[in-house]
Structure 1
Amino acid sequence: MSEPGTRANQADDARSRGSRGRGRIITAGGILIVAFTLRTAVTSVPPLTGAVSHDLFLPTWLVGVLGMLPTALFGIAGLVTPLLMRRWSVEALAVMAMGAAALGEMVRALAPETGLFLAGSAVALAGMGAGNVVLPPMVKKYFPRRIGLMTALYVTLISLGTTIPPLLAVPVADAEGWRVSVGWWALVNIVAVIPWLTVWPRRGEEGAAVRRASTVHPRTVVRPWRSPAAWALSLLFGITSLNTYTLFAWLPEIASGAGLSTGDAGLQLAIFSGIGLPLSLIVPLLAGRMRNPYPIVVFGLVCFVCGYLGLWLTPAKTTWLWSLLAGLGPATFPLSLVLINLRTQSHRASGAVSGFAQGVGYLLACVGPLLAGLLHDATGGWTATFAFLGVTLAVLAVAGWVVCRPRYIDDDPGVVEAVQFQGGGAPPVI
């Protein structure tokens, strides 16, 4: 016969397991909702530039600036967010990132003039850039044994969050106006805050307990720029993004120049971007089961090269095939995201590496569309552009080889250091 104390302990254990299970559901939902919001500010505006220009001063050159803002601000946020992680938890940063995104989207929806519209866009994009950085350490912290699965799910949600806003933009604008079409996405950012409010207060309570315990605290500082593998990961992420954004910008122009109609040229872009959805599901799961996932890099390289050769040499024939092959090339994008966690040992290191890789990578990606256009204008054709992209693929091959080797970035000399935090405040939480 069971003792009363034993039965009580079993009941407590059952309640604890239930609480942990509910906590995992909440955090998983929080991660996925945040992921869905991370491109809404990017893709909800381009279909509405004509309507926005009718109310605000938005010349062609300013539309070009808007096109460069996402990668530029994602890059800046990537470099700044790890510094904030030294002081704030990833849960707190998730709340702040989504709050900034919601505020920015509301400001630009209500903006009476161009300056406020640009400022609101910048705030929204900076918040989403911070969200990009905190997702990998969140996965590492809450789902260390499900890294491949959770990465596959959140990258897929990013893809959906990229695809759905432009589909809804014009119908909503026709019914309610462009301001509603742009601004209502702020509600999704607000919803994304809610799961993390259930976690963030407990982190604050822990910090208060530590403040009471001592006034001198050790902390761990991660400096990923001291690791060759972290630089390689940055290049893998950046070169993939550079090629992807270049084709986003110029694939319709390449197809139109080959004689395709405007509709068919747009279809090529849809083929190129659409194939990314199954890749985002498959690649992280595969990489999580492989000791060295370099074969995925090789697959992406072969697809990029075949697609580029077809678009360069015979763009008017079987264009759909070249677009499809080029669209398989960015298999290295979800790979680079899952490698952030597979090549780090703690969520602290994951956060620092995530910010460094995405910061450097997105700033590098800014160069692609601009340089591709300049080369085309200077030469009158696409040969120089494809030559430039071919050189970047050679860099991608080397970077992939370095980072795919089975070793941890935070094991490299000088990357992780323990230092003392002086003063009466709480130690940094990252």
Structure 2
Amino acid sequence: MKDVNIGICGLGTVGGGTWEVLQRNARLIAGRAGCNLKVARVASRRPRPDLGLGDTPFSTDIYDVIRDPSIDVVVELIGGYDEARALVLAAIAEGKHVVTANKALIAVYGNEIFNAAREKNVIVAYEAGVAGGIPVMKAIREGLAANRINWLAGIINGTGNYILTEMRAGRAFDEVLKEAQDLGYAEADPTFDVEGTDAAHKLTIMASAAFGVPLQFDRAYTEGISRLTPYDISHAEALGYRVKHLGIARSREDGIELRVHPTLVPEGNLIAKVDGVTNAILVDGDAVGQTMYHGPGAGDEATASSVIADLVDVARVVASGSDQRVPYLGFESEAVTDHQILSADEFRSAYYLRIQALDKPGVLAKIAAILSDQGINIESIMQKESELHDGHIPLILLTHTVLEKQVNKAISEIEALPEVEDQVVRIRAENFL
């Protein structure tokens, strides 16, 4: 059986998991690939004596992997933007295939990387970059190839989902974030997780493969969860909703919505029931209807599962000498169209609005008139006399689906009312049925 030589760059959490799974399941993987996946060289900033690399050549210079002429496939697991970009482009220039788990790299530099790979006729595979161990990219690019995909929506950051799950018990955001850091779910700098950047990277990649458009991370609307309070989470539940931090991409006749933000989801929806650090993605296709992909979105061996799945695909091509391969984004390059990414003003959604207003006759009528003037219908209203404080009481409204620019105008007018205190709290609501 032929050997396909692999060079691993990075022996952190995912790199270590990849090495261990490749060793433990070597015979099984070879049987599926039709060749031996041999780790012929490893490079990492720090040695990992705990992994037992044995005679496998090790270096602290990642470019030693690129310079090794025996390497067929470079596995990029160093993370980050610029250094990873330089490494991947260098590997492509040497005619080596690339497997990466780096969603930031693909979301930001993917168009450049895929063009370079196309010119050199090499594969760049990135399944592990989106939703860890869940093979959602393979499903979108291959399993759903017959479908016009209407929309996709997902919990694609486990840290945020863990925080929101714990906040349902009335715990404050800062308290739960500290716990997530102590448990290793959140980084020391959690900005990418809690402010939605990580989810926007993944959403950008999924949307490009779903709709056949170039990667456009800079056009993704991103809103985090750091301003959410247990109060709004509990009141959303009283209305029959759970608050989830979702990435949503929707194809419309006038463009594509590409957005990450806190979202009210009816508690009966499947995605509303996904708690903890678990990820879940719903995809709606015109032929198949809704499908859901659920599982671990991070972790050493879970992510390694997707890395090695890509390695098997690449190894089959290398071993057979075949030119048959899946296009980088699931569409042949000439079929990729530069469809407009809509601005936030053009989003269509229902809305949860919390307004701190004076408790006196006529205030609700004024607010309702403003909403009506903007063409916004009210679905439900909640007001609790027990929450009266200093003459003000929270008024909670749930609207029907409208354009965001209508809601923006209404909120500006409501906040200008003398009877209204503080800013209006707004959370978008979606019903994935």
Shorter-normalised TM range? under 0.3
Report which of the two has the higher share of helix. Answer: 1
Instruction: Report 1 or 2 for greater relative contact order, CA contacts < 8 Å, sequence distance ≥ 6.
Output: 1
Report which of the two has the higher share of strand. Answer: 2
Q: TM-score, normalised by structure 1?
A: 0.27
